[in-house]
Amino acid sequence: MKKILKISICLIIVSSLMLYFIPSKAPGIYLSFIDGQTVNVRSYQGKPLLVTFWSITCSLCLEEIPKLTELYSELNPYGFEIIGIAMSYDPPNRVVELSKKRKIPYSIALDINSDAEMAFGRIRATPTNFLIDTDGKIVQRNIGTLNIKKLRSKIKKLLEILQTFVTQGNTVVVIEHNLDVIKTADWVIDMGPDGGINGGKIIAEGSPEKITEINGSYTGDFLKNIINSKLKKTA
């Protein structure tokens, strides 16, 4: 009886420690994306965000990529974002190679020093997914295969909350990196010219079309291609 009691107590203690390491809000860590950008997770506050930890050797993760790609393509124009974080043991060159081969449209980050794995609660299994709401709160944590139907429903509800603010006449300010979302904004403030200590200055502001006309705006240069491409399709 004493042995059983000791085992029970140990299990309770271990479970408590595991819960302790699971954050309730998105951690304020910087992620290094394979396209060279370095972005703080909390900069996505204001929009629904799915953070998925995956590995190039995880069959479930690879099976999930087409489903996440479809979900991203459907909901990203309304503000939804996905960050795929490759595990620390994945060789960076292999991650880049696979991302290009699979034509993954959402952001892919490397976690060479395991900073993200630790910050999100000592991630060990893949895939592990976190759904983060517009306030930066983690509203769902899932280990293993995602139920895409239920996830889509939750994301749409979060997007509806964001849209409600707009329809009620409120101004919604969102820190955004995705050009497909930026092009739909009423007003854009472009900060730069670079990141970190080399940034923080207002380079341009105005409608997306106005931004494309301002010299020195990297955002404007990239927006110009997207807007011109859209005009060609409608012509």
Model confidence at 116: pLDDT above 70: yes
**pLDDT at position 18, please?**
42
Residue 155: C-alpha distances to residues 24, 40, 152 (Å): 18, 21, 5
Number of CB atoms found within 10 A of residue 170's CB: 9
Model confidence at 226: pLDDT above 80: no
**pLDDT at position 156, please?**
82
Query: Which of 6-10, 45-49, 76-80, 127-131 is modeled with the greatest confidence?
Result: 127-131
Helices (H) and strands (E) in the chain, counts: 8, 9
| Proportion of the chain above pLDDT 90, given as a percent | 44
Model confidence at 220: pLDDT above 50: yes
CATH 3.40.30.10 fits 19-167, yes or no: yes
**pLDDT at position 222, please?**
79
Tell which wins on pLDDT, 65 or 46.
65
Provide the pLDDT confidence category of residue 7 given band limits of 50, 70 and 90: very low
pLDDT digits (tens, 9 = 90+) for 50-71: 999 999 999 999 999 999 999 9
pLDDT digits (tens, 9 = 90+) for 148-176: 888 888 888 877 766 666 666 777 777 76
Instruction: Give dist(CA 26, CA 51) in Å, integer.
Output: 9
Number of CB atoms found within 10 A of residue 1's CB: 5
Instruction: Give dist(CA 172, CA 183) in Å, integer.
Output: 15
Query: Helix/strand/coil (H, E, C) string of 138-197?
Result: EEEEEECCCCHHHHHHHHHHHHHHHHHHHHCCCCCCCCCCCHHHHCCCCCEEEEECCCHH
**pLDDT at position 112, please?**
95
**pLDDT at position 171, please?**
76
Q: Point out the least confidently predicted range of 56-65, 72-81, 171-180, 220-229.
A: 171-180
Q: Which residues contact 75 (CB under 8 A, 6 or more apart)?
A: 48, 152, 155, 156, 159
Model confidence at 111: pLDDT above 50: yes
Kindly list the domain boundaries of the chain, sorted by start residue. Answer: 19-167, 179-234
Instruction: Give dist(CA 218, CA 68) in Å, integer.
Output: 28
Instruction: Give dist(CA 26, CA 138) in Å, integer.
Output: 6
Tell which wins on pLDDT, 165 or 3.
165
How much is the mean pLDDT over the chain? 83
Tell which wins on pLDDT, 235 or 94.
94
Both structure tokens of 17 = 């420690």
**pLDDT at position 161, please?**
67
Model confidence at 102: pLDDT above 60: yes
Provide the pLDDT confidence category of residue 197 given band limits of 50, 70 and 90: confident
Model confidence at 117: pLDDT above 90: yes
What SS3 class is residue 87?
coil
